[in-house]
Every structure is written in structure tokens, then in C-alpha cells.
Structure 1
Amino acid sequence: MDQHTNATEVRAFHARLMAVASGGDDHRLEHVFESVPREAFLGVGPWKIRVNERYVETPSADPVFIYQNVLVALDAAKGINNGEPFLHARWIGAVAPKSGETIVHIGAGAGYYTALLSMLALPNGRVHAFEIEPALARRASDNLAPFEGVSVVQGDATELPLPDCDLIYVNAGVVSPPSSWLKALRPGGRIVFPWRPTQQLGLALIMTRAGAGFTVRLLGPAWFIPCVGASDPASCVKAPTMPKARSISAAWLIEDRAPDDTAVAVCRNIWFSDKSG
């Protein structure tokens, strides 16, 4: 590295990469990624970077080491990490948070991606962050204090009521999304989550509320720690193959519409179809 390169320059270049990785055209993304220092949410360095099921400690607390596409430990003993930036940039670009929206962030960790979402909801938007781990929830609350319109709730988001919202951003692996989450979405509202219908499948899905059902879009591979309360393997009673999972285009709550012969996957509260309408 050039001796004149500093953390500010590295973060600025990282932000430019994130804006391109988003695949979107929101001109705010580069500014948002540049404005929020990742290191401020990771605790005191050196930090532990996850590689091939192991952690490697950075040589020092120089922030340049964490402006890479890497998982950084928040709680190494529990395998809880701050997620890969390229993946989150892609998700954020795909769900396109808008000014004034109400956003729910489930699995907020120490609050880094919550902070990014909150800036994209400005002005007049709100972010409700849920984190089940008490120590992380406290860290998130402290870290997010300077950010406008953010609240942090410590608890199980599968059991707690969610506010009516425009976007739900889930950072824990889900076998079957709770119906309470889907019912919280306003018309046109989106939910993005790591779907784990089987141990072999890990896919990011975006579901958008459309009338009585949901349109579904596949974003690509996604592997997260299981979501407490929504990761029981038995809750997927008909699991898809990878080709079938890639064909999914629509979904319905079972209470609103019973599965039919287009069902590719059937979970506890919801079923997925390869046909729209």
C-alpha cells in the first residue's frame, strides 16, 4: 500500500465499489457508505476476519484492513459477524430504500447496516432495529444514538409485533418467514431475507406485496446464522430443488390461498409458486 494512502481514502474507494456493486442507480449510496465508518461498529481493533470457518486477526487496528469484502466478528464465540459488504450493497440496491419509508431491520447486530438504512430513509423515515442478543443490542443502541429516526429493540422479532412498514431487511437465515412479518408490509412493501428451506439451500429472496400475494425475486446465494424462531427445518414441508427454487416467481400466505399444483415449496405459513397471478 502506498505510504500516503490513509483510511479516509480507502473508505472513499470502498464506497465507490459499493455503489457499483449495488447494481442500482441511487446516487446516494456512495455518499452513505463513505459517511458511515465500518470500524465504529466493530469494537476496538485488531479485528477477527472470518475465512473458511476460521478467524484471522488483523495485524493492527488500522481500519484499512476491514474495508474489504469480508466477514468481521462481532461475537466470534457465537459465530456472529458483520456481513460481507458486497452482499449488502447488492441487497440494498435491490430493495431500494426510499426517503420517508419505515424500515424494519431484523438481526441488526451492532448496527452498521442499520445506520446505512437509516441514512437512506432520510428525511422523515424511520428504522426499527431488532436484535435478539442483549450485548449486541446494547452496542447497537449506543452506536446508533447519533443517527436520526432509529430505535433499537432487544428481543425475538418472530414473537414481537412489527410496525406497519415499507421494507423488512432480515440478517438471519429463515426457513419460513413468519406471517406476522409479511402482514406488516404495506402495499408495495418489500422483504429481503436469507431463505434456508434445507441445509443445502441458502438463497436471498425479495418478496414484494402485490394485492393478496407477493411477487418473488431471487438475488443469489446467501448464508447466514439461523434466525431464532424461524429456522425449524420441519416448517418446510415441501422443499424445492435448486432449479425449482430458481423458478419461483410468486408466493401466498396459506391462510389467504391454499397451495395448488404450481407449488414449488410449501412452508408453515407460506407457499411459493413458479407461476404468477
Structure 2
Amino acid sequence: MKFKTPEATQAFLTRSILITGCSSGIGLCVAQGLKQAGYRVFATARQSKDVENLKTQGFESYQLDLASSASIKAAMHAIFEQTESLYGLIHNGAYGQVGALEDISREALEEQFQTNVFGWHELTNLVLPKMKRQNAGRIIYLSSVLGFVAMPFRGPYNASKFAIEGLVNTLRLELAHTKVQLSLIQPGPIESDFRLNAYKAFSKHIDKQNSDYRVNYEKMIVRLQSKDLADFTLPAEAVLKCCVHALSAKHAKIHYLVTFPTKLFAFLIRILPTWLMDKILYKAGGGGGR
């Protein structure tokens, strides 16, 4: 697939990009698309078998588990042995812990933040010094519509994405004197293995038989195990297009809204009172069944 990149030059297309969470879905699509466009792509994944699969596709690939500081540091050491600097960092690796907050243990919440927040923060801090020295770079964060609105039974994931948006908004101000640009991509439903991984996390941490939300969980499990796409689901290429623009445009956007639900909720949250927005979000959540 070819993309028109605004104000793109050959200089952009020879630059190195690091992407996390490339085993499947959005991460794999973005890695393939950027490699095809001419970028040098370092594609990382949590499991060694996925790293080997990426290597067979021609990627420079390294194992990187965002929940492990040692894994992050080892991957970055290996990557910086191959390139003096990175032009782009795309934070994608994440998962969604679902369940009612009453049923979420401290351990489950910590695990969610280790991968979705703390790992991203540590990785950013390892890359930033080189970007600041070259006074150039793009850092792209795959947030979510759930980074600015909350929905029931998605509390840990909601909280992790709200946290990322807070960190990015702060870091953008602190880097205002540099030419390092930060972008938040906020997708709604995208074709991926997200529901499969969410079900694994749910099964690991939630005792559904002893929960007040047993009925809700029955509907939730049906949704998580279903192969039917949610309404307004877009292919991962929709995110790839945003990444291409954020990397190559002279002035990247701060926010990229992807899918109709994201655009709708971004509009509604600006015009509706909180009590009415809560009713809409409660209904949209379908008791965990949507």
C-alpha cells in the first residue's frame, strides 16, 4: 500500500523507527507499512517466537517486554548498537484489563500500568536524550478513545490511557524548546487481537463466580470471544495512515482521531453536561457486553 506523505523527502524515508508490540494487529501493520515506505524499522515484540517471525519477514527485530525494565534496557542497548539515533518511536504495545473495578486487585492494576504506562515512560526516557541532541524526532503514542472518555468494565485500561495522555501533555510542554514532536493517536475499534488478549487478562485476574457482576461478565465473555467486528471497526491501515502523517509532516498533529466513535465522543464531551455524558457512556458500554 502506498501513501502520500505531506512534505515528505527522501531524508524522512531513510530514518530509523522503533515500534513496540509488532506481533500482530496495529503494530504489525504499521511496521509493514513503514518498511514498505522506505523507513528503517526496528520491530519489537514481547515473545521470542514473534521476534523470529518478524525476522523472517525481513525486519530488524528484538525482544522487548514493556513490563520488564531489564528487557527494555537490553533491547535499547542492542538497537543503539545498530543505529546512532532514532528518528521515530511508536508506542503501541499494550493490552486491556477488563472487569469491574471492585474486582480488580492491586496486582492486576499494577500489571496493567507496568505494560501500558511505566514501560512506555521508561522507553521514552531512553530515547529522548539522543533525539534532543539531534534536535529532531517524533514520538507517537497509541492512546484510545478511552483515553479521554471512560466506559464501565474497562477501568484499568481507561486509567492507563488517561495516564498516558497526562504524561504526553506534560512532556509536550517540557519539550516546547526542542523540535521533538509528540502525537497521540486515539483509535476506537480497530481490527486486532485486542479482545483475545483482554479475555486472557480477564481470565487471569477476575473471579467471576464470586462477583456481584456475574451476569455482566457472561455478556462480556461472549463479546470477548466473538469474532464478529464491533460497529464502526476499521482496519489497522487507518492507524498506519496517521503514523505516516505524524512522522513525515512538517508539523505533526497533536491528536489523531480514528474511527467514528472517537470523533463522536470527542464532540459530545465538549458540549454535553457530565451527567448526560455518563448516561450515554453507560448505555454504550452495554453492561460490558459491547
TM-score bin (small chain): 0.3 to 0.5
Higher helix share: 2
The normalised TM-score by structure 1 is: 0.37
Higher strand share: 1
TM-score scaled by length of structure 2: 0.36
Higher relative contact order (CA 8 A, sep 6+): 2
